[in-house]
Amino acid sequence: MKEKAIDGKVIRVLQGDITEQEVDAIVNAANSKLLGGGGVDGAIHRAGGGEIMKECDLIRKEQGGCPTGQAVATTAGKLSADYVIHTAGPVWTGGDRGEDYLLGSCHRESIRIAGEKGCISMAFPGISIGAYRFPTERAAGIAIETAAEELEKSSLEEVRFVLFDSKSYDIYAQALDKLEK
């Protein structure tokens, strides 16, 4: 595990299973239709149970889903967290369609919602780095920088980045090392 303190708050990078994190909110790398899926999305829905999908169904009926770069909150079901914050990351198409901005927005919006819900701690997966093909080094830099900026303004005390594999962990840990705060 790597960590960096920022004005009494902390960003941590660790390798593990995001569904096992004991935090107030877990961020889900969701699709824009909130239909569940594979990877992190599937793992969160399986571990959290059907209540999460029921709330996703309601959100879909009310607002059609979750646009890329935005975030919505649901119950965490059987997870130890209080909330799952679903955010729809951008699909990498070469970097000339606003992907960096949208990925930063995923993190900003998730942190904003966690703060509105009164959360003190939250855990992010690597958003868009799997099936959405966002370059991991680039995604890690955006994620860590955005989290550091938002953490300073937020009531949150801890933001974790939980990476499933050692290669992604190493890349996010290096991004945290490079953070100048």
Provide the annotated active-site residues.
41
Hey, is 95 helix, strand or coil?
coil
Dist CA 103 CA 68 (whole Å): 9
Virtual torsion, Cα 88, 58, 114, 179, nearest 10 deg: -10
Helix (H) / strand (E) element for 148: namely helix 136-153
**How far, in Å, are 23, 51, 91, 107, 155 from residue 114 at the CA level?**
11, 19, 24, 11, 9
Of the candidates 68, 115, 111, 62, the residue with the CA atom closest to the CA atom of residue 87: 68
